[in-house]
C-alpha cells in the first residue's frame, strides 16, 4: 500500500517523537509517564502512512539486531476523541522494543478530527493490514507476522479486540478481510461491550459519539463495532483490568470474557487489585509488568 506521508503528517509524527526525545515524558489525564530510554543501537522510530489523512500513520519501533522479531500492535486510548494520540502508546512501544519485540504504534482518526463510524474502525484495520507491506519492508523483512499480538488500552482496547475479531464481520461491511491474524490480544481496561458502555454513559457519551447514535437508533453499528458482539476473536483474549478503575468499570472486561466463553472462545480476566485506569500504561508501574507478562505469554 504505497501511500506517502504528507508533509503535515510527517511533521505531526516527527514533532511528537522529537518532543518525547527532549522531555522523556508523556502526559496522561492523571500525570506524566516516563518514556524508557531505548537500548544502545536501537534504530530510530519510523513513521509510516497507511492513508492520505495526516493522522493515518503509525510509528514502527524495532529492536537492534538482524534476526526475526515478533510484533506487538499498540493501540492508544482516549475514548476515541482527538484530545489524545499515539504518544500514549510510545512508552509501551519503547519498553517492548527494549525487550526484543517490534512495536507498531498506530494513530487513527478520532471523534472531532474526522473519526467516528466507520472511519475510526477502517483506519485501525488499514494500519494493521499495512504490516505485510510497507511496515515489513521498512523492517528489512524482520517481522515475524506469524507472531503478532494486539495490545490496546481503554478505547484502544476496544479497537485492538475489534481488529482481532474482523474475520467475523460480513464481507465489505466495515473493512476488508484481515491480512494478518493475531495469535492473541491483550485488552488493558478495554471498552469491550459498547451497548453496556453506551447505556452507562461512559466517557460522557463517548460511545454514542463514536457510533453516531444510541444502541436503539443504530443497532446495526453496535453489532458490527462491539467486540462483545463479535466473539470469539482470533486467538485468546486476555483482559487486564484494575479493580480501582473509575474510568472504565471492571464489568466491561467481565462482560466480554463471559460473552467470549459462551461462544466457546478463549478469554480470561486478570484483575489487578488497587490499580486505576492509567497504571496499566505506565512502564514504571507494576501493573504494566502484569500486562507485559500477558503479551509475552501469548507470543
Cell numbers linked to 62: 524495532
Q: How far is CA 234 from the centre of its chain?
A: 15
- Within a 10 A sphere around the Cβ of 83, how many other Cβ atoms? 11
In 3D space, the residue among 88, 89, 84 whose CA is nearest the CA of residue 73 turns out to be 89
State the DSSP code for 115: -
Query: Cell 453499528, residue?
Result: 221
CATH code linked to domain 7-298: 3.40.50.1820
* CA gyration radius, the chain: 17
**Which pLDDT tens digits describe the chain residue by residue (299 residues)?**
333 333 233 334 433 443 343 348 898 877 789 999 999 999 999 999 999 999 999 999 999 999 999 999 999 999 999 999 999 999 999 999 999 999 999 999 999 999 999 999 999 999 999 999 999 999 999 999 999 999 999 999 999 999 999 999 998 789 999 999 999 999 999 999 999 999 999 999 999 999 999 999 999 999 999 999 999 999 999 999 999 999 999 999 999 999 999 999 999 999 999 999 999 999 999 999 999 999 999 99
Q: Are 176 and 128 in contact (CB under 8 A)?
A: no
Angle subtended at Cα 164 by Cα 161 and Cα 168, rounded to the nearest 5 degrees = 110
Spatial distance between the Cα atoms of 103 and 296, rounded to a whole number of angstroms: 13
Q: Parallel, antiparallel, or unpaired for β 143-153 and 31-34?
A: unpaired
Q: Parallel, antiparallel, or unpaired for β 184-188 and 46-49?
A: unpaired
The residue extents of the domains of the chain are 7-298
- Within a 10 A sphere around the Cβ of 44, how many other Cβ atoms? 11
Amino acid at each position: 500500500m504505497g501511500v506517502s506521508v504528507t508533509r503535515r503528517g510527517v511533521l505531526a509524527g516527527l514533532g511528537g517523537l522529537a518532543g518525547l526525545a527532549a522531555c522523556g515524558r508523556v502526559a496522561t489525564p492523571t500525570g506524566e509517564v516516563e518514556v524508557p530510554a531505548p537500548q544502545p543501537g536501537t534504530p530510530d522510530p519510523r513513521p509510516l502512512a497507511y492513508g492520505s489523512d495526516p493522522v493515518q500513520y503509525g510509528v514502527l519501533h524495532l529492536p537492534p539486531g538482524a534476526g526475526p522479531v515478533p510484533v506487538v500492535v499498540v493501540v492508544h486510548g482516549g475514548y476515541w476523541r482527538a484530545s489524545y494520540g499515539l504518544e500514549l502508546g510510545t512508552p509501551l512501544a519503547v519498553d517492548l522494543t527494549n525487550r526484543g519485540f517490534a512495536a507498531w504504534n498506530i494513530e487513527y482518526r478520532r471523534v472531532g478530527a474526522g473519526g467516528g463510524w466507520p472511519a475510526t474502525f477502517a483506519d485501525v484495520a488499514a494500519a494493521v493490514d499495512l504490516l505485510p507491506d510497507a511496515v515489513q519492508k521498512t523492517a528489512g523483512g524482520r517481522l515475524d507476522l506469524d507472531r503478532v499480538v494486539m495490545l490496546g488500552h481503554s478505547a484502544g482496547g476496544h479497537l485492538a479486540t475489534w481488529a482481532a475479531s474482523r474475520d467475523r464481520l460480513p464481507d465489505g461491511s466495515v473493512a476488508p478481510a484481515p491480512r494478518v491474524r493475531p495469535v492473541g490480544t491483550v485488552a488493558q481496561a478495554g471498552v469491550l461491550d459498547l451497548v453496556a458502555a453506551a447505556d452507562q454513559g461512559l466517557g460522557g457519551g463517548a460511545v454514542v459519539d463514536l457510533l453516531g447514535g444510541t444502541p436503539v437508533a443504530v443497532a446495526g453499528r453496535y453489532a458490527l463495532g462491539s467486540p462483545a458482539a463479535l466473539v470469539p476473536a482470533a486467538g485468546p483474549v486476555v483482559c487486564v483490568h484494575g479493580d480501582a478503575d473509575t474510568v472504565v468499570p471492571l464489568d466491561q472486561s467481565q462482560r466480554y470474557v463471559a460473552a467470549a466463553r459462551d461462544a466457546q472462545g478463549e478469554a480470561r480476566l486478570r484483575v489487578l487489585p488497587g490499580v486505576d485506569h492509567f497504571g496499566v500504561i505506565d512502564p514504571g508501574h507494576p501493573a504494566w509488568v502484569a500486562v507485559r507478562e500477558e503479551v509475552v505469554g501469548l507470543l
